[in-house]
Structures are given as structure tokens and as C-alpha cells.
Amino acid sequence: MNKSKSSEVYAWTQSGPVYSPASLEDIKNIDLLKSACRTKHLFLPNKPQLLRSIYSFLFGKKNRIDYRIGKASKIPSNFIRQEPWEIEYLYMLSHYSKVGILETGRFNGGSTLVSSLANKSVPIHSIDFDPKDDDFLKGLFSELNVGTNVNLIVGDSQKTKYQSIKDIDLLFIDADHSKEGCFNDMKNWWDNLISGGSLLLHDCYFGCEVQDAVLEFIKNYDLEIVISPYKSHEHRRYPQGSFCHLLKR
Ligand SMILES: C[S@@+](CC[C@H](N)C(=O)[O-])C[C@H]1O[C@@H](n2cnc3c(N)ncnc32)[C@H](O)[C@@H]1O
């Protein structure tokens, strides 16, 4: 797009044009979050080409993707256990939530932070039986001025119900990655998910039991497929990474 001809464009950022002050805030949030993404599959361009070639030669890291992210910010590098394009997708779905969000598996709280920056009004519940450091996460919430709608639960997500969790329209599963564990999470929270709500799973790819759990689940529950669970082990090469996205009918 020619900059000078684009009168509807509110501002230009590194990520491209934005069309309203509200979306500019979202783009800034997403850029901030991506600076804290998981980097194990990325070749960051701040490394000189020669260094990268030597690195590849020595460690055989052929499965990395060239990607540019901003400098690490107040959110530490690798805090969010997702690829940058997965962060973008989770942010978008969280932004559109109108009823409530539940995530199983918080670890550092990276995905919790993504949802809390994307949506400041609906209740966001996060369950983990062994979170890394909730005090640090709460410190980030106050620095970023978010998180007042977040309910951090320390406990099991598979077989336990919590009174504070009512209806949700986004269920994000990222806890136990075994077939049984993932299946239990989907089953445990299915009735809380409203019709039309999104079921999003991380690490749904060939070789990870999350895929086996999802393939079993869709045989028995009434769902529409938005992003297929059939992904190869090269999940990082898909536009939405290892996410599988289903809608409850
Ligand atoms: C992959 S990490 C979550 C990463 C996080 N969603 C993110 O994107 O930054 C998985 C977490 O699930 C938690 N977990 C595993 N099994 C669980 C269970 N049955 N109940 C609650 N949490 C569980 C672990 O303690 C771990 O912190």
C-alpha cells in the first residue's frame, strides 16, 4: 500500500498499517508480547549470518525460522511458551471473547498475560497445579496495568470444578500433554463452553499425544473445525503454529 494515498490509515507500525486508535493499542500489545515469545525455533536476525551458519553447522538447527522480534522488554525473553504467530492468534481470540476465558496450564503465566492484555473486561480463569512464579506474574500485571479480571487458580484442571468458573466462550487447553490428560481437560470444561465458543489447543501435532486426544474427542462431541488437528511434526511452519481451533456447535 502506498503510504501517501492511504487516508483511512490511522498509523503505520513495523507490523504494517493500523486503522484505528484502538487497533494501534492492540498492535503495540502484540509486539510487546512477541518480544517475550519462545525462541527455540527462531533464528533471530540480530545474529550475523556467519555466526548463524556456524551455529547451524555445530548444532544442526535446521528447523529454525528467520524471524524478527523486538528487544526483550519488561516481560522476560521466553516467558510465553509459544511461537510469535501463536501469540498473535491467542491474542485475537481473547480479544473477541464476550463471555469468559479459561486456560488450563499457566506455567510462567505467558498465555495468561496474552489474554489479559487482549481483553480487560471478561473473567479470565487460569488453572495450574504447579505454576512457576505467580508473584512475578502479578507484578507484571500491575506494571502493565492489566489483570484485574484474572482469576489465578492453583489446582488440578482435569477432574476438579471450581465455583468461580461459570460460562466461557474461549477454552484454551495447554496443561497435561498426555492423551488422557488433554482429553480429561476438554471433557471437564466442555459444559462450561457455550454453543459457538472456541476450543483452542496448543501442541496439537503429529507425535504429540494432544493430537490423539483431539482426534478421539471430535468423534464424540459436536464441533466444527476452524483449524484442523491434522498437523505434521513441523508445526512451526503452519500459519497458526501448533494450534487446533474448534467451535462448539
Ligand atoms: C506448557 S505449560 C503452560 C504454558 C502456558 N500456557 C504458556 O503458553 O505460556 C504446562 C503447565 O500445565 C500444568 N499442568 C499439567 N498438568 C496439570 C493438571 N492436571 N492440572 C493443572 N495444571 C497442570 C503444568 O504445571 C505446567 O505449568
pLDDT tens for each residue of 183-230: 999 999 999 999 999 999 999 999 999 999 999 999 999 999 999 999
Ramachandran class of 195: left when φ > 0, alpha when ψ lies in -120 to 50, beta otherwise: beta
Residue nearest to atom 27 of ligand 1 (CA): 107
- 181 in any annotated domain: yes
pLDDT tens for each residue of 54-99: 766 776 666 678 788 888 789 999 999 999 999 999 999 999 999 9
Residue nearest to atom 20 of ligand 1 (CA): 156
Provide the whole-model pTM.
0.92
Residue nearest to atom 25 of ligand 1 (CA): 130
- 44 in any annotated domain: no
SS3 state of residue 173: strand
- 59 in any annotated domain: no
For residue 64, how far is its CA from the centre of ligand 1 (angstroms)? 25
Q: Check if 175 has its Cβ closer than 6 Å to any atom of ligand 1.
A: yes
Beta strand spans in 33-144 (E): 42-43, 65-66, 101-104, 124-128
Beta-ladder partners of 180: none
Instruction: Return the pLDDT at 241.
Output: 97
**Could you identify the atom of ligand 1 that is nearest to the CA of residue 80?**
9
Q: Check if 80 has its Cβ closer than 6 Å to any atom of ligand 1.
A: yes
Instruction: Return the pLDDT at 135.
Output: 98
- 68 in any annotated domain: no
For residue 103, how far is its CA from the centre of ligand 1 (angstroms)? 9
- 228 in any annotated domain: yes
Give the mean pLDDT of 149-158: 98
Q: Check if 89 has its Cβ closer than 6 Å to any atom of ligand 1.
A: no
For residue 129, how far is its CA from the centre of ligand 1 (angstroms)? 8
For residue 175, how far is its CA from the centre of ligand 1 (angstroms)? 4
How many domains does the structure of the chain reveal? 1
For residue 170, how far is its CA from the centre of ligand 1 (angstroms)? 17
Q: Which domain holds residue 134?
A: 84-248
- 201 in any annotated domain: yes
Least Cα distance to 104 among 161, 160, 171 occurs for 171
- 167 in any annotated domain: yes
**Could you identify the atom of ligand 1 that is nearest to the CA of residue 203?**
1
Q: How, if at all, do strands 244-248 and 193-201 pair?
A: antiparallel
Residue 144 pLDDT greater than 90, yes or no: yes
- 31 in any annotated domain: no
Q: Check if 174 has its Cβ closer than 6 Å to any atom of ligand 1.
A: yes
**Could you identify the atom of ligand 1 that is nearest to the CA of residue 127?**
21
The CATH number covering residue 176 comes to 3.40.50.150
Instruction: Return the pLDDT at 47.
Output: 62
Share of the chain above pLDDT 90, in %: 76
